[in-house]
Amino acid sequence: MFYEIRTYRLKNGAIPGYLKVVGEEGIAIQKSHLGNLVGYFSSEIGPINEIVHIWGFESLDDRQARRARLASDPAWQAFLPKIRDLIVTADNKIMIPAAFSPLGGSAPI
Protein backbone atom coordinates (compact mmCIF):
# COMPACT_ATOMS: atom_id res chain seq x y z
CA MET A 1 0.00 0.00 0.00
CA PHE A 2 1.17 3.51 -0.86
CA TYR A 3 -0.01 6.62 0.95
CA GLU A 4 -0.20 10.03 -0.67
CA ILE A 5 0.13 12.84 1.87
CA ARG A 6 -0.97 16.18 0.45
CA THR A 7 -0.27 19.32 2.49
CA TYR A 8 -1.71 22.70 1.56
CA ARG A 9 -0.80 26.01 3.19
CA LEU A 10 -3.86 28.24 2.94
CA LYS A 11 -4.29 31.99 3.12
CA ASN A 12 -4.75 33.36 6.64
CA GLY A 13 -8.30 32.72 7.82
CA ALA A 14 -9.20 30.47 4.87
CA ILE A 15 -9.48 27.13 6.70
CA PRO A 16 -13.17 27.39 7.69
CA GLY A 17 -14.27 28.34 4.16
CA TYR A 18 -12.03 25.73 2.59
CA LEU A 19 -13.32 22.94 4.83
CA LYS A 20 -16.92 24.02 4.26
CA VAL A 21 -16.75 23.87 0.47
CA VAL A 22 -14.68 20.68 0.47
CA GLY A 23 -17.07 19.04 2.93
CA GLU A 24 -20.16 20.10 0.98
CA GLU A 25 -18.90 19.33 -2.52
CA GLY A 26 -15.28 18.39 -3.07
CA ILE A 27 -14.77 15.38 -0.85
CA ALA A 28 -17.57 13.41 -2.47
CA ILE A 29 -16.03 13.95 -5.89
CA GLN A 30 -12.57 12.99 -4.63
CA LYS A 31 -13.77 9.88 -2.80
CA SER A 32 -15.68 8.69 -5.87
CA HIS A 33 -12.40 8.54 -7.79
CA LEU A 34 -9.60 8.24 -5.24
CA GLY A 35 -11.39 5.81 -2.93
CA ASN A 36 -9.38 5.21 0.22
CA LEU A 37 -9.41 8.40 2.31
CA VAL A 38 -7.20 7.71 5.34
CA GLY A 39 -7.66 11.12 6.96
CA TYR A 40 -8.29 14.82 6.43
CA PHE A 41 -6.81 17.28 8.92
CA SER A 42 -6.32 20.96 9.67
CA SER A 43 -3.47 22.28 11.80
CA GLU A 44 -4.07 23.38 15.38
CA ILE A 45 -0.52 23.70 16.72
CA GLY A 46 2.67 24.15 14.71
CA PRO A 47 2.56 25.53 11.18
CA ILE A 48 -0.74 27.36 10.92
CA ASN A 49 -3.24 27.44 8.07
CA GLU A 50 -2.38 23.93 6.91
CA ILE A 51 -4.61 21.22 5.52
CA VAL A 52 -3.30 17.65 5.26
CA HIS A 53 -5.14 14.83 3.56
CA ILE A 54 -3.96 11.27 3.18
CA TRP A 55 -5.11 8.81 0.53
CA GLY A 56 -4.22 5.12 0.25
CA PHE A 57 -3.49 3.37 -3.04
CA GLU A 58 -2.67 -0.22 -3.91
CA SER A 59 0.19 0.84 -6.19
CA LEU A 60 1.62 3.86 -7.94
CA ASP A 61 -0.18 2.76 -11.10
CA ASP A 62 -3.45 2.66 -9.13
CA ARG A 63 -2.77 6.20 -7.86
CA GLN A 64 -1.94 7.49 -11.33
CA ALA A 65 -5.11 6.00 -12.86
CA ARG A 66 -7.36 7.27 -10.06
CA ARG A 67 -5.88 10.78 -10.10
CA ALA A 68 -6.25 10.90 -13.91
CA ARG A 69 -9.94 10.00 -13.59
CA LEU A 70 -10.40 12.70 -10.96
CA ALA A 71 -8.62 15.32 -13.07
CA SER A 72 -10.82 14.57 -16.09
CA ASP A 73 -14.12 14.66 -14.18
CA PRO A 74 -16.11 17.78 -15.21
CA ALA A 75 -17.53 18.06 -11.68
CA TRP A 76 -13.98 18.23 -10.26
CA GLN A 77 -12.92 20.76 -12.89
CA ALA A 78 -15.92 22.93 -11.93
CA PHE A 79 -15.10 22.55 -8.23
CA LEU A 80 -11.38 23.47 -8.37
CA PRO A 81 -11.88 27.26 -8.81
CA LYS A 82 -13.73 27.27 -5.45
CA ILE A 83 -10.53 26.31 -3.59
CA ARG A 84 -7.69 27.22 -5.94
CA ASP A 85 -7.29 30.82 -4.76
CA LEU A 86 -7.33 29.75 -1.09
CA ILE A 87 -4.19 27.62 -1.49
CA VAL A 88 -0.83 29.38 -1.15
CA THR A 89 1.50 26.37 -1.41
CA ALA A 90 1.09 22.65 -1.93
CA ASP A 91 3.36 19.75 -1.05
CA ASN A 92 2.89 16.11 -1.97
CA LYS A 93 4.61 12.98 -0.63
CA ILE A 94 4.25 9.31 -1.40
CA MET A 95 4.95 7.18 1.66
CA ILE A 96 5.22 3.42 2.24
CA PRO A 97 4.42 2.22 5.76
CA ALA A 98 6.97 0.23 7.72
CA ALA A 99 6.15 -3.43 8.26
CA PHE A 100 5.22 -2.71 11.91
CA SER A 101 2.97 0.27 11.10
CA PRO A 102 -0.67 0.04 12.26
CA LEU A 103 -1.62 0.75 8.65
CA GLY A 104 0.30 -2.32 7.56
CA GLY A 105 3.24 -2.14 5.32
CA SER A 106 5.86 -3.80 3.31
CA ALA A 107 8.71 -1.35 3.68
CA PRO A 108 11.89 -3.10 4.77
CA ILE A 109 13.18 -2.41 8.27
Model confidence, pTM = 0.88
On whether the CB atoms of residues 74 and 93 are closer than 8 A, the answer is no
Asked if residue 63 belongs to a domain, the reply is yes
Asked if residue 62 belongs to a domain, the reply is yes
Instruction: Give the CATH number of the domain where residue 66 resides.
Output: 3.30.70.100
Map residue 39 onto helix, strand or coil: strand
Range of the domain at 82: 2-95
What integer pLDDT is reported at residue 109 of this predicted model?
Answer: 45
CA 104, distance to chain mean position in Å, is 20
What integer pLDDT is reported at residue 108 of this predicted model?
Answer: 52
Asked if residue 83 belongs to a domain, the reply is yes
The pLDDT tens digits of the residues spanning 20-77 come to 999 999 999 999 999 899 999 999 888 889 999 999 999 999 999 999 999 999 999 9
Asked if residue 81 belongs to a domain, the reply is yes
Domain count for the chain? 1
